[in-house]
Structure 1
Amino acid sequence: MTMHQQDTAQKQAIQGVSATEELVPSRYALKVGDIDVLVVSDGVLPLPTSTMSTNVDPAARAAWFKDMYLGPDAFDWALNVLVVRSGEQTLLVDAGLGGQFPGFPRAGLFPKRLEAAGIELSSITDVVITHMHMDHIGGLLVDEVKSRLRPDVKIHVCATEVEFWANPDFSRTVMPSPIPEVLHTTAQQFMEAYHDKLHTFEQEYEVAPGVVVKRTGGHTPGHSVVHVTSGNEKLTFAGDALFPVAFDHPDWQNGFEHDPEEAVRVRVRLMQEAAASGELFVATHLSFPSVGRVAVNGDAFRWVAGSWDY
């Protein structure tokens, strides 16, 4: 049974179930050609609205969030991870926040949501890390995850990213305190826990048939995206290359970007490519299930959310 068939059966079985958790969508299955893809919500975490537009007038930021019925001072940031089955391999793309950080009780949920989907952590053959911010690697530091991963699991991350976090530069970021120190500490813990399982690449690497991870830089020096291609179908997981505000204002810089100008160039290029190809597009911090397409809208872009298939 494919992940799509399995998830459809589970959706049908949910009728009559009263548990609140079961009534809240937390995973979404789709096919990209012959490749199974499952988008899993790791939950949400609250962030200041100011992090979304560090280079614009606060009034413009406030107006955008008001138009989106968000804010005014904080909003919920979605966290999405992927599970991809290609050939004999099962890949986890990013690992969410984990449950070890106080103040984020609604995040770090992907382990139990994988379990609810019938996916054992021991079945994961490869983990792809788009970048080493704590909301992408923190889930791998949870004891219940570490103890259940298979001994031969391979963790793929850009070599530039590994080098950067040995001595990270936060001089161009605008993050709430004490997040920079927590990011650095978490990256160090990740390296200590998984240094013997790391498989680094320089620019791009085919992790499994039709699944290629490719360095973009910008958000972090080694930030990478994942392209899933099968037949004539394609999906890109953009990681943190863009955020909800990016479609209307691709030039608005984010406080978590280590190279803001390069991050703008990266997201514009990715969205231009996605609009030209018509491919499916998923990103970490777009509202779940974050499956849709990108269209050009004058000098900006437009998000075209995919319709639910149920």
Structure 2
Amino acid sequence: MNLHNTSQPSLKHCADKVNAKYIHGRPEPELVPSRYALKVGAIDVIVISDGVLSLPGAMLGHNVDPAVRSSWLEDRFLPPDVLEWALNVVVVRSGGRTILIDAGMGMEFPDLPRAGRLVQRLEAAGLDLASVTDVVLTHLHMDHVGGLLVDGVRDRLRPDLRIHVAAAEAKFWEAPDFSRVSMPPGFPDALRRTAKRFLNEYDSQLRPFEQEYEVAPGVMVTRTGGHTPGHSVVRLASGGDRLTFAGDAVFQVGFDHPDWYNGFEHDPEEAARVRVQLLRELAAKRESLVATHLSFPSVCHVAVDGDVFRCVPAPWEY
């Protein structure tokens, strides 16, 4: 499917505007970080960049005054109309299992050429797709499952691969409700088709869970709902170390304004409630956080002052 058509004026504008910056002077291969390794106790973790996704700035908070939203972006030296969202996935090794958490955007959308880098970056990190024993999907939006739909990927995966997703998420995409989202034109159809294709192609390997499931020692996936009905987070625990991969429960603006509604949220009020609860818990426990759309590698801690949170980047581990 090609999003580069007349039904996608806002997306095409964003893609063209951002991509124009990289036509000249961009080194090949890219001299930018694309993977970051750390330890959570005895658990090995690698955060891998799937690239960036250029979207309208309004997606940050469609329930607020545009002037307020533009001011927030300006304070961070960002353009008011286009925001580049990081796309992060995580590979975890624990108890003899290699677990891929989310699978990135895939290669289906030519208007988004700076996304969909997962396969090549796994290879650059020395990670063979055949070594992956489990996949955990925080939800079934296309920027989280698309990497599994790239031509040739399924043939390289293990036949006994287990794919863990909340049962409520799989059920939702049988007949998804987009009545409360605020997406650019074309996105609901693209999301619907991608989720349907994924469920059809990987049905035999799905391992649905109701509320939570321990994928490997110290690797627990828990349904939160909100962003989508079956949205889940993955919590790692080993020794005294803790790290949560929050998927799309937390966006950068969510620290300053957790009550702003992201355009992709299917239940904005519940998503805000989940966000606040999770951020308060992470702040209280001083637990590390990684999220899909925080700037790579996104490893941070959460500080809290009243109703406002703060993202405190963790020192890089060299």
| TM-score, with structure 2 as normaliser | 0.91
SS at the partner of 1:289? coil
- Number of the residue aligned with 1:3: none
The answer on 1:147 being equivalent to 2:155 is yes
Matched residues in 2 for 1:69 and 1:237: separation? 27
Length, aligned pairs only: 293
Q: CA RMSD in A?
A: 1.1
Q: Summarize deviations over 1:28-81 as a string: whole Å, max 9, x none.
A: 000000000000000001000001111110100000000111121011110000
1:22 offset after TM fit, Å?
A: 5.7
Matched residues in 1 for 2:212 and 2:143: separation? 22
- Number of the residue aligned with 2:78: 70
1:257 offset after TM fit, Å?
A: 0.2
- Number of the residue aligned with 2:22: none
Matched residues in 1 for 2:46 and 2:254: separation? 24
1:21 to 16, 29, 34: 29
- Number of the residue aligned with 2:6: none
Matched residues in 2 for 1:73 and 1:197: separation? 40
1:194 offset after TM fit, Å?
A: 0.1
1:56 to 60, 64, 70: 64
1:129 to 122, 134, 137: 137
Matched residues in 2 for 1:100 and 1:233: separation? 38
Q: Summarize deviations over 1:3-27 as a string: whole Å, max 9, x none.
A: xxxxxxxxxxxxxxxx743631000
- Number of the residue aligned with 2:194: 186
5 Å matches for 1:166-205? 166-205=174-213
- Number of the residue aligned with 2:171: 163
- Number of the residue aligned with 2:45: 37
- One-letter identity of the residue aligned with 1:287: S
SS at the partner of 1:166? coil
SS at the partner of 1:267? helix
2:314 to 302, 306, 309: 306
1:22–1:171 CA distance, 2 compared to 1 (3 A): closer
Percent sequence identity over aligned pairs: 64
Gaps of 5+ in 2: 1-26
**Structure 1 residue ranges, 4+ long, deviating more than 4 angstroms after superposition:** none
The answer on 1:91 being equivalent to 2:91 is no
Matched residues in 2 for 1:253 and 1:219: separation? 10
Matched residues in 2 for 1:71 and 1:49: separation? 8
- Number of the residue aligned with 2:125: 117
1:280 to 283, 288, 306: 288
- Number of the residue aligned with 1:13: none
Matched residues in 1 for 2:236 and 2:78: separation? 32
Matched residues in 2 for 1:252 and 1:75: separation? 16
- Number of the residue aligned with 1:295: 303
2:246 to 235, 238, 246: 238
Matched residues in 1 for 2:240 and 2:263: separation? 37
1:125 offset after TM fit, Å?
A: 0.1
SS at the partner of 1:194? helix
- Number of the residue aligned with 1:220: 228
- Number of the residue aligned with 2:263: 255
SS at the partner of 2:53? strand
Matched residues in 1 for 2:252 and 2:55: separation? 13
1:298 offset after TM fit, Å?
A: 2.9
Gaps of 5+ in 1: 1-18
Matched residues in 2 for 1:274 and 1:82: separation? 19
Matched residues in 1 for 2:154 and 2:91: separation? 17
